[in-house]
Structure 1
Amino acid sequence: MLTWNPGLLLYFIFFFNNIKKSDSHFVKAGLCPLPAEKPSDQGISRCNWDEDCASAMKCCPTILGRQCMLPDPSRLICPDKSIADRTCLTSLDCPANRQCHQFVCCPGVPNGVKPGKCPALIVPEGWKIVHDNKCQADSDCPGTRKCCPTLLGKRCLVPV
């Protein structure tokens, strides 16, 4: 007959309940409503991640702690007035033919290039250009800004 050591049993229960889950969590489309005041660190949170909330609701910071709320519809609209697909950090987070615009996936700019030209890049003699890019394409930049080369890498700049 097999008997379990209570200490060993507690160890396995603790171990399996504390296995580190993936740091990536599903993020639903849209952006949380902006809180009226600074969100509370001391509030009682009813969720931790969007995936903890039903249907289209998101886990949003409030003055009472994190709560499941519907996204703010005014923060879901793309420049072409269509509804955003999902949230993003760069266009790489969006499906094909969609671009990241102010943290939501929207229909892409035709051929991905915004109007205007980047300011001229003048490289001082002996200067090495740093490749710390903050954007990859115009679609990564808010509004009318373009992704332009600078001495520090690509940045979102106002076109000339």
Structure 2
Amino acid sequence: MKSIWTICSNKYSLEVSMEMNSSALCALIIVLLAFDLKIISAAETGGNSTVPILPKAGQCPRLLNVVPSHKGCFCDEDCPGDDKCCVFDCGAVCVPPAFTKPGMCPRRRWGSGMCAEFCSNDSDCPNDEKCCHNGCGHECIAPYTVKPGRCALPKGTPMCAEYCYHDGQCPEEQKCCRTTCGHACSEPCS
């Protein structure tokens, strides 16, 4: 059997015969590459190839406002420490993650705030404040408390007023729920 091509690697050697057609040759190369990647993956995980690669904690920031620690990443594992692989206009880069703080941004009562970006995510804000949309830009604002449970569908209540703006303004377990034309405190439903 005459060989026209020998595929060599430090892991295996294979001779491809002249009788093999090109589509079978391509399929064989793909299988061997996949096998090679599995061997590399197993070597990197200490022989345990069942260890899943999970994304790192946090989310990608909305805006790139730091110098990336690494450029040209494909996944979080390519990034040092806790940095995440995030895609921006300049491509994929490693940056510190953004974390979402608990609570809810307040509803805007009227108009819009300043048209400036004072923050891009909750991580930019001090203490418990969240980065909230103010109608035009984003700014750090103290969050509203969100109590467990959910509001029932509004009934034909003739209350046309804003008796509350968030759950923290309601007594005990009550939530600030929408009425037919406003908001009022009511017992949550399960």
Whether TM exceeds 0.5 here: the answer is no
Larger Rg: 2
Question: With structure 2 as the length reference, what TM-score do the two structures score?
Answer: 0.31
Query: More relative contact order in 1 or in 2 (CA 8 Å, sep 6+)?
Result: 1
